[in-house]
Amino acid sequence: MKALHESQLSRFNLIHQGKVRDIYDLDAQHLLIVTTDRISAFDVVMPTPVPGKGELLSRMTRFWMRKTEHIIPNQLTAIQPADVLTADELAAVGDRVMVVRKFKPLPVEAIVRGYLVGSGWKDYQQNGSVCGHALPAGLAQAAKLPQPIFTPSTKAAVGDHDENISREQLVAIMGEDKTAQVEALALAIYQFAADYALPRGIIIADTKFEFGEDENGVIHLIDEVLTPDSSRFWPADQYQVGSNPPSFDKQYIRDYLESLDWEKKAPGPVLPEDVVANTLAKYQEAERLLTA
């Protein structure tokens, strides 16, 4: 498959270019989200795309949005890309494009953690808690938490890192009512997905959701959902408390980058073919297990 590093839908207004997504305005109610084959690591976009990643992420997001419709309405619409794009435009972006309803994004990255890993593990070692959630003493790295926890963070401006905030800080930003709704929704979607994935061989260690509201204040699921870019997926058969399990995500690229003399600042290094292929293989394995 030919890789797409950057989309060129010049007939539309590009309103945002993220690390992975190119977002265009379609009309007053809709956006065109193009999930490109770009991959970022350590917050730097790599110059080498991963061909097939954009389609895969789009498929997974659609999959999970349909699966969770009974919990929360979402951005999906019946409008097909072919309804709004020319044949040439469609050929250029392939199955990486989604026509979605435009909502007002809530100013929070709704992170849910089911396991003690990453920055949560660091926090726990220092403070015995994770983002202010008190936890039992003596938990080991990668331990399953007594119950999943909601650990919101701010949406950083481009180039900045997201910052964890307490529930109280989130209440100060968007009020108790919205905070309580987002918290309950994020936990419910996570629990549903974790229960779905586990018998299929995948542990969802943590994930991040984004929400948007319509003109009546009804909260919808937006952006990407439960992809390897927004989540930590662990192979259940290799899970061991006490060590950081291998995961179906960017760990492969991160490990490769750690082996280089690179300062984790843009520009990123060109990725060798085998690193690209192995990364895609991890993403594909996650998709196969989850959606087969």
**Footprint of ligand ADP on this chain (CB under 6 A)?**
16, 18-21, 23, 31, 75, 100-103, 105, 210, 212, 222-223
| Comparison of 20 and 142: residue with beta carbon closer to ligand ADP | 20
Least spacing, CB of residue 2 vs ligand ADP, in Å: 20
A 10 A CB-CB count for 171 gives 15
| Comparison of 74 and 151: residue with beta carbon closer to ligand ADP | 74
Instruction: Supply angle C-alpha 172, 19, 93, rounded to 5.
Output: 125
Least spacing, CB of residue 161 vs ligand ADP, in Å: 13
Burial 146-169 (b: 16+ CB within 10 A, else e): eebbbbbbbeeeeeeeeebbebee
Least spacing, CB of residue 230 vs ligand ADP, in Å: 8
| Comparison of 78 and 292: residue with beta carbon closer to ligand ADP | 78
Break the chain down into helix, strand, coil percent, rounded to 5.
Answer: 35, 25, 40
Distance of CA 237 to the CA centre of its chain: 23
Least spacing, CB of residue 222 vs ligand ADP, in Å: 4
**How many whole angstroms separate alpha carbon 48 and alpha carbon 51?**
9
| Comparison of 223 and 249: residue with beta carbon closer to ligand ADP | 223
| Comparison of 99 and 280: residue with beta carbon closer to ligand ADP | 99
**How many whole angstroms separate alpha carbon 75 and alpha carbon 78?**
10
Q: Is the dihedral of CA 232, 146, 112, 137 positive or negative?
A: negative
Instruction: Supply angle C-alpha 2, 158, 104, rounded to 5.
Output: 90
Q: In one letter, which amino acid is 57?
A: L
| Comparison of 31 and 149: residue with beta carbon closer to ligand ADP | 31
Least spacing, CB of residue 156 vs ligand ADP, in Å: 9
For residue 267, cis peptide bond before it (omega within 30 degrees of 0): yes
| Comparison of 137 and 158: residue with beta carbon closer to ligand ADP | 158
**CB-based closest residue to ligand ADP:** 18
Least spacing, CB of residue 103 vs ligand ADP, in Å: 4
**How many whole angstroms separate alpha carbon 213 and alpha carbon 222?**
9
| Comparison of 124 and 283: residue with beta carbon closer to ligand ADP | 283
A 10 A CB-CB count for 279 gives 24
A 10 A CB-CB count for 137 gives 7
Least spacing, CB of residue 267 vs ligand ADP, in Å: 17
Least spacing, CB of residue 36 vs ligand ADP, in Å: 8
Q: Is the dihedral of CA 241, 187, 282, 131 positive or negative?
A: negative
